[in-house]
Amino acid sequence: MSQRVGQTDPRRSIPRTDRLLALPAVAAAREHLSDETIAECIRAVTDRARRGELAPDAVTAAVVEAVGAARASTQTAVLNATGVIVHTNLGRAPLGPSAMSAIVDAAGYVDVEMDLDSGVRSKRGVGARSALLAACTPAEDALAVNNGAAALVLATTALAAGREVIVSRGELIEIGAGFRLPDLIASTGARLREVGTTNRTHLADYADAIGPDTGCLLKVHPSNFRVSGFTAGVEVDALAALGRDRGIPLVVDLGSGLLAPDALLPDEPDAATTLRAGADLTTASGDKLLGGPQAGVILGRTEYVQRLAKHPLARAVRIDKIALAALEATVAGPRPPVSQYLHADPQRLRARTMALAAAVGGEVVAHDGRVGGGGAPGVPLAGYALKLPESAARPLRIGTPAVLARVHDGATLVDLRCVPETDDARVAEAVRIALTDH
């Protein structure tokens, strides 16, 4: 049974909801918040006052503060001070200015499927296709879909649904969140034909497995682990030659999204080299080393790319206009942040970290960065970090700005590799506050 509020109860002086809704600050908040969100902010404040947690005369100020702090999206911008470039938990690749500008333009009406000159409908993704072909000249054709897994699903569905996909046992990988390649391919209606062993697969294994039901050969780059010792695998050129001889297409899943070789990552396969070696199709993610938005990039021979593009599943995995614009701008624009962070000058990182230490205290230590996102496992990227007490990590994470550092061996390590240099002062202030709070 609810309690009645007496005539002398201070809760009777809690401002009425209609008066709170009429506050200028609340009215202004309607430009970025829905009426429902504003009402919930007011309800939360007045409920606190009714429980006696907030004085009635403080309600108005609390409501103004609440609607001022509320945002339509709950995602929080984070400064990545972990040293991991493609950080999956932080959305993988950060976009560059050209991609961000393209997203703003694409947020409204845009000529995604319209030829403005003729006034008739055009093909989707023409600009992104042209940019990808210019950046990866061995490719005859290109197609973008909504993510890397979708690219591989579309390829195996269009080429081998109801048939066999021949793949080495050593390449049946599992990546983050329990995502397993065998499960993905099985979902397409194709049947996996595993050949070789975990550590050794030979060309003869593939050749012996090819039969009337073979839809395609699949080679997968095991991007998030390394097998060493008594190992053997089949190179793309040899596998491609076998496929051509038997009339079977070869699909190579690269994963990380390099379009061209990078001397810093000599063991990381790239699309240009893979296609020159004879692969019919390559698939990769757009939000890893390519440095763009979440997307699946398919490059290869026109015959097979068009076969994928015309398959009914292509509609279900179609890339949206926002990601399409960001992908094109990433490929056609200047070096994206991922590339800049990958090739950061260690001495410049040291100078920045020394300046941070001089401003806030702490010890400068050597610290290797990482590519992350399942790319280039075990490849160290020489750099430095500011070593702080472990207790500083949480205040940094929940502060404004939110700064995510690495916690290792009882210490918080602040690595500036993936922090824009223009944000160094913000990191310094965040560290000062974190050290004061803890």
Domain borders along the chain are 12-69, 78-88+340-437, 96-334
Nearest to 212 by CA among 237, 235, 191: 191
Distances (CA, A) of 343 to 10, 158, 168, 292, 327: 63, 38, 33, 17, 21
Q: How far apart are CA 157 and CA 141, in angstroms?
A: 19
Locate 281 and state its tokens. 């199709």
- Report the alpha-carbon distance of residue 35 to residue 39 in Å, rounded: 6
List, for residues 145-193, the tens digit of each pLDDT value.
999 999 999 999 999 999 999 999 887 877 665 667 788 888 888 888 9
CA distance 205 to 234: 10
Alpha-carbon torsion angle 8, 14, 17, 23, nearest 10: 140
Class in CATH terms, 78-88+340-437: alpha beta
Burial class (CB in 10 A: 0-12, 13-18, 19+), 74: exposed
When pLDDT is cut at 50, 70 and 90, the band that residue 197 belongs to is confident
Query: Could you read off the pLDDT of 107-156 as tens digits, one per residue?
Result: 999 999 999 999 999 999 999 999 999 999 999 999 999 999 999 999 99
- Centre a 10 Å sphere on the Cβ of residue 188 and count the other Cβ atoms it contains: 21
297-347: pLDDT as tens digits = 999 999 999 999 999 999 999 999 999 999 999 999 999 999 999 999 999
| pLDDT the model gives residue 199 | 83
Amino acid 377: pLDDT:
78
Is the pLDDT confidence value at 2 over 50? no
Q: How many residues does the chain have?
A: 438
Q: State which amino acid sits at residue 376.
A: A
User: Under a CB-based contact definition with an 8 Å cutoff, are residues 232 and 265 in contact?
Assistant: no
Residue 291: name the closest of 334, 321, 330, 265 by CA. 330
Q: Which two tokens stand for residue 136?
A: 């990866």
The total of other beta-carbon atoms located within 10 Å of residue 37's CB is 15
Q: Compute the distance between CA of residue 121 and CA of residue 360 in angstroms, rounded to an integer.
A: 58
Q: Is the confidence at residue 4, as pLDDT, over 60?
A: no
Using pLDDT thresholds of 50, 70 and 90, give the confidence band for residue 222: confident
Over pLDDT 90: what percentage of the chain? 82
Q: What gap in Å lies between CA 428 and CA 361, rounded to an integer?
A: 10
Q: DSSP string covering 228-252, please? A: -SS-B---HHHHHHHHHHHT--EEE
User: In this predicted structure, what is the pLDDT of residue 21?
Assistant: 95
CATH number of 96-334: 3.40.640.10
Q: Who has greater pLDDT, 365 or 228?
A: 365
Q: Which amino acid is at 121?
A: R
What's the mean pLDDT when you consider all of the chain?
92
Q: Measuring CA to CA, which residue among 145, 106, 129, 141 is closest to residue 332? A: 129
